[in-house]
Chain A
Amino acid sequence: MSVQDVLSPFKAWKNLFRDPVTIADPINDRPGAARYRGFHQNDLDKCIGCGTCEEICQNGAIDMVEAVKIEQAEGDSGLRPRIDYGRCCWCALCVDVCMTGSLTMSNAYTWVDADPEEFRFTPGVDKKDWDDAELGYHRPEGLHLTPMTRVEMQEMEPGERVGNFDEIVCGYSVGEALVEADRCVSCGLCVATCPAHMAIPDYIAAIRDQDYEHGLEMLYDTNPFSQVCGRVCTHKCEDACSVGHEGEPIAIRWLKRHITENVPREKYMDIIGGTADGTGKKIAIIGAGPAGLTTAFDLVKMGHNITVFEAQSGPGGMARYGIPEYRMPYDDLDHEVSIITEMGVDIRYNMRVGKDIPMDQLRQDYDAVLLSIGLHVGRSTRIKGTEHKDVLKAVDLLRDITNGIKVKVPKKVVVIGGGNVAMDIARSMARLQKQKYGKVDLTVTALEDLQHFMADPEEVKEAGEEGIEIFDARGPQEIVLTKGGRISGLRTWKVISIFDDQGRFAPSYDEADEMLHKANMVIEAIGQASDVSLLGEELTEALDWNRGRLSVDAEGRTSQSWLWAAGDCVHGPDIIHAVADGHVVADSINAALNEQEEADAKD
């Protein structure tokens, strides 16, 4: 110790001459940093109410609550996060995990209120001063707490697949499925969107748990066509998938398929097959497609006697006769249907109602009749030349190919249409051309431009890979014939718009932009209709119709108390919709029969 040690502390006095470092009015003069994790903001238009914020919050500070101001849309639960600031710790994991990036934080950090209830609020709904603050914590670019990229599905190479009808999609391996199933955030928006309300997050969880049998049980609980839907479903669920907002949606369809492929076939019946005691009621179903067989599946489980009348020689309806084998192998379809027949459903093939057995007889012999006849008649453009024998309908041709009938395969083919049926027939014909000539020469023309194609994007992409030329926004005008009366091609004009101001179908063309697509055959694939000739004049008259389709109530009942209708013939082409229809109708028929029985017992 020295004199220094006595004097040195007095150096502290120099601070007398310094300005103060404290901020006099921090609330106004000291805003939070640009990244400050302050009070929450929520962009209500972007938020889909998926609830991942609620899921990740370790404090249980977030509740998803109904937000009345929000119009509910597809893929939106209508709920919005309400945050309890008595529990929140401002960790911002909710911001990081947010599937749409709607949830953010402002840099505001002072909030005074005498009422503690005020501090439980729904950002965005309860207006706050900081709603429009630009600064504050936003999820950093590139930071995702859940994987955004889909596991690519392995497919047969285009060169390899175009010469045959073998299935293109290879299916996920267990490892791939685990990675894909891991991406699911279990929000359940897909369940609401799926017409059949399949338990999607639960069966995806079953994959993660590697419990395929439980997964299969859940699949068949809502969908007896799970093997089919695992391949060709229109997967509206994937459009609603919350992961799809900032990444690629979960491959729900492929995961469904993965479960069905990983349960041995001999186990299916044990898992799915239980039926109730017989009720003695008899129900006739016309058409062994997804709608009819789903109804049959449900009703046979309830203990009813089911007879299905099928005009074709095989089951599946449009799933078999409308979808080519490279997308939906017949073997899997047959296995799917075999479960239903094994449960006791009697399918009578080659029985066309109205021809082989009259409708009236069904009405007399059965307690209820279901019409699920699909859409098996192709529509025509009715342009000049369509009456030519080499102008064919896609559905007829697809049916013939399925039935193994040798169809005419010319060197050059033009397909009119931009939907999935157009792609199906184009790719089927391409395969036949490849087999016959060793090369593909096929053109697809469609009214819509590529952005608005009705067909799935992957179908369009795969068609292109297989050598099919696609001309979008072309309106068919005339089928041009040679002097000898053979087809030489299709003349088209450029489409300017398809619908008029009122939204009616009225295409307008740029006549200067004309093309001739050379072809020896023209296939029309512009839509299908039902063959309702089986109904007979009297019944047709008695039923209600809506734009050429049977009109039914919410339960699938027609105006005739004994007759129900379901599937494509009512709601247009879609397998999963047909399955959903089937469940509704089965419940309705069962309820009606029970009611009848109770009424009879009273008498």
Chain B
Amino acid sequence: MNYQPDRSKYPAKKADGTLDIDLTSGKYLKLWHGPNHPGITGNMSVELTVCGDEVVEGKVHVGYLHRGFEKLMERRSFIQCFPIVCRICVPEPDFNEYCYAAAIEELSGVVVPERAHWIRTMILEMGRINSYLMYLGGQAGALGQGVIGQWTTYVRDLMLDRFEELTGARIYHMFILPGGVRDDLPEGFKDRLEATLKEVDAVLKDVYDVMFKNAVFKRRSIGVGYIDPAWVDEYGITGPNARAAGVAKDVRKDQPYLVYDQLDFEPVVDHGSDIYTRADVRRRDVAMSVDLLRQILAKMPNEGPVMAKLPNVLHWQIPRGETYIRGECSRGEYGFYLVTDGSRFPRRVNVRGPSYTHAMTLLERMIVNTNISDIAALMVSLHTYPPEIER
């Protein structure tokens, strides 16, 4: 469905390209959407200019979460950065740990044991499922279906139990150390993970029946929030947002890292490119992650070290160099750009979170001519996490 805005309601453009909005005319109204609105994904806000119940302009405001991670890291030794990075994305922190560790390993020449690669892949897929479960609850919630969030939170909690017994923490796992992973799998972990996956399967089926085969949800989401496939490259759209628009972008397949070249999967692609399709692509992605986890559990070598021998981390100096590590997180391409200068500290760290493009430039364009009541669903459907905008 091609989305054609009704230009008659639209304010005229001034010579400098900005809109000619006369707030005293009584035609337009300014509205703040967020930062504490339940429909907002995390702490960010959108400054809306509405005409009636239709949005004519939307400006994204971020900065509520700014903690300056990238700058903090320039004054921390390499090992001290390790507990920091996970905080850049709360619901799916493991990608930060993986990308940071992989960047350090590449620049310092530390060789990671084979088994650690498998455990890392497993953790990343577990994290992906968690992230999507949180999204599904949010997406349904934005359109008034509270029960979906309760169900997905239940299985997400089971997954957090698995994280807790594996890594020692539920949210900030801090498990993927440069050089490998901190510890081996606990006794009986595989069985318990399999049991949890079964539960995920069951809940996913319920979610499909109640959320996706639902007249209300369909009416509210099909055809709403259209992303033109032509925008994908223009805006740097990645992940499910691109795949729902028919562009098969998936770093796991395009540039396999860890053990993805040894796993059997095909990226989920669809063509609707609206809220419904994006939700459906993510739902199918969860199913694929469950399948990938089963493959990992079956193919993972049963013995071997999980951690490389490190130099003394207290004064670890890494030779001059730069690298960009990318991976496919639940929201799209996640990347760490790391520059080292031979000292004990990173010279520059730059985190590429997919939310930057999705929640800033893309949203500002998509929000125009949307009905106010659809904004929450639209924002959630882009699946953005503000902390990765404000590193």
Contacts and interface: CB of A to CB of B under 8 A. Distances in A.
A9 B210 contact: yes
Nearest to A179: B311
Contacts of A185: 312, 314
Contact of A1 (B81, B167, B215): B215
A8 B209 contact: yes
Interface in A52-67: 52, 55-56, 58-59
A598 interface: no
Interface string B65-85: 000000000001101111110
Contact of A35 (B77, B168, B211): B168
A539 interface: no
B172 interface: yes
Contacts of B307: 140, 142-143
A208 interface: yes
A117 to B, nearest CB: 25
A8 B168 contact: no
Given A11-B209, A12-B206, A35-B165, A58 B315 contact: no
B10 interface: no
B200 interface: no
Contacts of B77: 58
- Decide if the interface of chain B is mainly helix, strand, loop or mixed: helix
A318 B191 CA distance: 69
A186 interface: yes
B83 A146 contact: no
A5 B311 contact: no
A198 interface: no
B213 interface: yes
A140 B182 contact: yes
Given A183-B312, A186-B314, A5 B165 contact: no
A93 B79 contact: yes
A92 B168 contact: yes
Contacts of B314: 52, 55-56, 97, 145-146, 185-186
B172 A146 contact: no
Contacts of B315: 182, 186, 205, 208
A19 to B, nearest CB: 12
Given A58-B84, A140-B184, A147-B311, A36 B214 contact: no
A145 B215 CA distance: 56
Interface residues of B, number: 42
Contact of A91 (B83, B165, B312): B83
Nearest to A145: B313
Contact of B310 (A35, A145, A184): A145
A6 B218 CA distance: 11
A35 B215 contact: no
B337 interface: no
A90 B312 contact: no
A89 B172 contact: yes
Contacts of A92: 168, 174
B183 A11 contact: no
Contact of B312 (A34, A36, A105, A184): A184
B213 A4 contact: yes
B194 to A, nearest CB: 18
A140 B169 contact: no
Contacts of A11: 206, 209-210
22 contacts: A1-B219, A5-B215, A8-B213, A9-B213, A9-B216, A11-B210, A33-B168, A35-B164, A36-B169, A52-B314, A56-B313, A58-B76, A58-B81, A91-B172, A93-B79, A97-B314, A105-B168, A137-B168, A140-B182, A143-B183, A182-B312, A186-B315
Given A9-B211, A90-B172, A93-B83, 19 more contacts: A5-B214, A11-B209, A11-B210, A34-B165, A35-B167, A35-B168, A35-B183, A37-B174, A58-B77, A58-B84, A93-B79, A97-B314, A140-B307, A144-B310, A145-B79, A145-B312, A145-B313, A147-B311, A183-B312
A-B pairs with lowest CB-CB distance, top 10? A91-B83, A58-B80, A8-B213, A140-B183, A35-B168, A5-B215, A33-B165, A37-B168, A145-B313, A146-B312
